[in-house]
Amino acid sequence: MTQLSAIGRWLLAAPLAGSALLVGCQSGGSAAAKPDVLQASLDTTARPGDDFFQYANGTWLKQHPIPASESNWGIGKEVQNEVYARLRALSEDAAKAKAADGSTQQKIGDFWATGMDSAAIDKQGAAPLKAELDRIAAIRSGADVPAVVARLQMIGVDALIGPGVAQDAKNSEKMALYLYQSGLGLPNRDYYFNKDARTAGIRRAYPRHVQRMLQLLGQDSLTAKQNAARVLALETKLAASSRKLEALRDPYANYNKMAVAELPKLTPGLDWRPVLGQMQLGKVDTVIVGQPEFYRTVGQLLKSAPAEDWRAYLQWQLVHAYAPTLSQDFDQENFRFYGSILQGSKQQRPRWKRVLDAEESAMGEALGQLFVKEYFTPATKQRYEQLTENVVVAFREHIQQLDWMSPATKQKALVKLNSITKKVGYPDKWKDYSSLDVKRDSYAQNVMRANEWKYRYNISKLGKPVDRTEWDMTPQTYNAYYNPSNNEIVLPAAIFAIPGVKDEDADDATIYGYAGASTIGHELTHGFDDEGSQFDEKGNLRDWWTKQDRAEFKKRVNQIVRQFNGYTVLDSLHINGQATAGENIADLGGIVIAYDAFKKTEQFKKGEKIGGLTPQQRYFLGYALGWQSHQRDEQLAQRIMTDVHSPAKYRVNGPMADVPAFYEAFNVQPGQQLYRADSARVRIW
């Protein structure tokens, strides 16, 4: 239920990710004698100045085709596989152990056992959903809908409304209830309206998929077809009032605070008091509405849409949310549409990986405790804390030397930078899962109980002091994020991993590019990108810039927006420069900041080659290593429409075209494809 205000690095990996082979930030003298991951990945048929992504990663991509079970493959998936193997062993051991009831081992073991018992799952069919389906079947009018929606929200079904608990964007010391747009079965609003052939084809396939799922619930083909049409019509109305991807990045436009007593003015006819009471939020007196126009439509539909529309819609939303936990026929039909049609995967991933993903979602920090105990030592944690501090020092120097920012704004920027909390590796305090009930009765019921536990855990934060020690990612996650409300960067243990590379075999150049630039510097820069820069050092949405400095900053942001708008990546689909601006700014900032940190190392100063590559070259190749990935066209198309990150190739080639040190390292000359005249290069941080 929690809506993260974090802006994270996403490396084309599934929700569960990580690695046990963690790289160090020290200079490795033995690196020249070991197989060199950077040199082994090179495609020397490509010129760095034409396509640096291909030059850096081409051989690796050729040698690592996308498996049939995946929609993409890359370094994140390689790292992820290492963690999967570790967590599988932990889960299997827990399932075999006769652990005490209520213990972490019992919960992990029982969750794993029910998830892997496909025979029992097939025998149960949709029976685990019977109580919820009966509630939906009892709907007789729109007035009955809110109570059912309230219950579905508690078990992880994001139907119709999108409640979330997070820090108040304008008062980071308080937790607030947010209401965001939600309730669509397709990835976002554009799938309901875009007229290109690819999206239109998905839109035609969607009601057929809904029909099949409703038939699996026992409806005859004609009834299911009629109900699928109702679902599409209702969702299309919700989509019409939903904001576009780029509009969701404006923190002021998506902050509309009002008293609960005022909500009926927004949604006439909908009394929110009983609804919030049913959601165990009866004591809430104010709410922050992200997109008022969406909730205005929700209120109108509750008055105008017939009961049969709501029954069809909520049946679909429920079975859609739980299909992966049900019998094989539900699971496979769900994969056929969402895995194959939408993302291009040719076959299902192994069940054990999918169960681990669900286990991660249910109790990820319980797994995380075991993970770091075995695979992330205190010495490794200290090593990356030092690397993080080195990059912060370099960023401080960048701010001080900016020629476009006034001293007044610089001073406040430095205060914010110096106030950033740096969380590295794993939490100091772990989540307490003692109240989570896990049994060996039903996989779907275990997921349902876990969803309800998470819901209660999140709403319990209301009215309590903000817990700034909490993490929103687990240590075994190959990802990282910046949270503007906490003014913090969070760097899970697994994000520092390079598959197959040991600590002592990773030289500083590789590490400063791979971890320093694409992760640490990237996340730090998010505090000062077009969105993060609107929050102050305490995490409050407040303008701390002079008017002139903000105008100059926006001019530079507009330059990077135009640059990325110009990249066409598939058919007629091009990057949305406005939606991806924050990530593109962070990529560029991370590269130039961490490079200056790297220049202070002994490896840079000595200038000795490793594997025929200079330290400068290895730094930029280390950055490109972090985006070593490729994906199927279907998933690429989806991400262009739904993701605030540019595709991996352009997260390398795009910022490199703006970095003078890259030109020097690889002798990039006019006429080469990445070359941009000095006056055209974007300079921000």
Q: Are residues 155 and 54 in the same domain?
A: no
Question: Of 252, 272, 307, which marks where a domain is finished?
Answer: 307
Q: Are residues 635 and 508 in the same domain?
A: yes
Better-scored residue on pLDDT, 271 or 683: 683
Question: Of 250, 274, 307, which marks where a domain is finished?
Answer: 307
Q: Hey, what are 171's tokens? A: 């008062």
**CB of 673 within 8 A of CB of 51?**
yes
**Which amino acid appears at position 295 of this protein?**
Y
**Which amino acid appears at position 48 of this protein?**
P
Going by their DSSP bridges, the two strands 171-180 and 162-168 should be labelled as antiparallel
Report the chain's mean pLDDT, rounded to a whole number: 93
Instruction: Answer yes or no: pTM beyond 0.85.
Output: yes
What pLDDT was estimated at residue 593? 98
3-class SS at 628? coil
Residue 6's pLDDT band, with cuts at 50, 70 and 90, is very low
Contacts of 487 (CB under 8 A, 6+ apart): 416, 419, 420, 421, 527, 535, 537, 538, 539
Q: Hey, what are 54's tokens? A: 């291909």
Residue 373's pLDDT band, with cuts at 50, 70 and 90, is confident
Q: Is residue 479 part of a domain?
A: yes
Q: Is residue 317 part of a domain?
A: no
Q: State how far the Cα of 481 lies from the Cα of 467, in Å rounded to an integer.
A: 17
Q: State how far the Cα of 492 lies from the Cα of 18, in Å rounded to an integer.
A: 9
What pLDDT was estimated at residue 378? 84
Q: Are residues 267 and 400 in the same domain?
A: no
Widest Cα–Cα separation across the chain: 77
Q: State how far the Cα of 454 lies from the Cα of 154, in Å rounded to an integer.
A: 9
Q: Is residue 572 part of a domain?
A: yes
- Average of per-residue pLDDT across 537-562: 98
Q: State how far the Cα of 583 lies from the Cα of 302, in Å rounded to an integer.
A: 38
Summarize pLDDT for 568-595 with one digit per residue, the tens: 999 889 999 999 999 999 999 999 999 9
Q: Are residues 45 and 183 in the same domain?
A: no
What pLDDT was estimated at residue 9? 28
Is pLDDT above 80 for 328? yes
Q: How many folded domains does the chain comprise?
A: 2
Q: What CATH number did the domain enclosing 653 receive?
A: 3.40.390.10
What pLDDT was estimated at residue 20? 28
For 398, other C-beta atoms within 10 Å of its C-beta total 20
Summarize pLDDT for 127-180 with one digit per residue, the tens: 999 999 999 999 999 999 999 999 999 999 999 999 999 999 999 999 999 999
- Smallest CA-to-CA distance from 392 within 495, 486, 525 is with 525
Q: Are residues 418 and 535 in the same domain?
A: yes
What are the CA-CA distances from residue 366 to residues 82, 100, 390, 492 (Å)? 18, 16, 31, 15
Q: State how far the Cα of 519 lies from the Cα of 47, in Å rounded to an integer.
A: 26
- Average of per-residue pLDDT across 471-489: 97
Q: Are residues 393 and 268 in the same domain?
A: no
What pLDDT was estimated at residue 26? 31
What pLDDT was estimated at residue 577? 98
Summarize pLDDT for 16-43 with one digit per residue, the tens: 222 323 323 333 333 344 679 999 999 9
- Average of per-residue pLDDT across 238-258: 98
- Smallest CA-to-CA distance from 485 within 6, 8, 2, 164 is with 6
What pLDDT was estimated at residue 343? 97
Summarize pLDDT for 609-657 with one digit per residue, the tens: 999 999 999 999 999 999 999 999 999 999 999 999 999 999 999 999 9
Domain range for residue 670?
37-66+376-431+470-680
Q: Is residue 447 part of a domain?
A: no
Q: Is residue 408 part of a domain?
A: yes
- Smallest CA-to-CA distance from 129 within 276, 320, 351, 358 is with 320
Q: Are residues 567 and 665 in the same domain?
A: yes
Q: Are residues 294 and 388 in the same domain?
A: no
Q: What string of H, E and C letters represents the secondary structure of 482-539?
A: EECCCCEEEEEHHHHECCCCCHHHCCHHHHHHHHHHHHHHHHHHHCCCCCHHHECCCC
What are the CA-CA distances from residue 191 to residues 197, 235, 239, 320, 570 (Å)? 11, 11, 9, 17, 16
Q: Is residue 340 part of a domain?
A: no
Q: State how far the Cα of 650 lies from the Cα of 110, in Å rounded to an integer.
A: 43
Better-scored residue on pLDDT, 477 or 1: 477
Q: Are residues 300 and 152 in the same domain?
A: yes
Q: Is residue 505 part of a domain?
A: yes
What pLDDT was estimated at residue 160? 97
Q: What CATH number did the domain enclosing 237 receive?
A: 1.10.1380.10
Is pLDDT above 50 for 12? no
Residue 11's pLDDT band, with cuts at 50, 70 and 90, is very low
- Smallest CA-to-CA distance from 181 within 168, 162, 167 is with 162
- Average of per-residue pLDDT across 327-335: 98
Q: Are residues 182 and 286 in the same domain?
A: yes
Is pLDDT above 70 for 182? yes
- Average of per-residue pLDDT across 297-314: 97
Q: Are residues 380 and 529 in the same domain?
A: yes
Is pLDDT above 90 for 504? no
Q: Are residues 287 and 384 in the same domain?
A: no
Burial of 129 (0-12, 13-18, 19+ CB in 10 A): buried
What pLDDT was estimated at residue 379? 80
Lowest-pLDDT choice from 31-45, 75-89, 439-453, 654-668: 31-45
Better-scored residue on pLDDT, 596 or 378: 596
Could you identify the residue written with the tokens 């927004």? 266
**CB of 165 within 8 A of CB of 175?**
yes
Question: Of 259, 289, 307, which marks where a domain is finished?
Answer: 307
Summarize pLDDT for 594-613 with one digit per residue, the tens: 999 999 999 999 999 999 99
Is pLDDT above 90 for 365? yes
Is pLDDT above 90 for 519? yes
What pLDDT was estimated at residue 377? 80
Share of the chain above pLDDT 70, in %: 95
- Smallest CA-to-CA distance from 586 within 658, 685, 657 is with 685
What pLDDT was estimated at residue 14? 30
**CB of 440 within 8 A of CB of 351?**
no
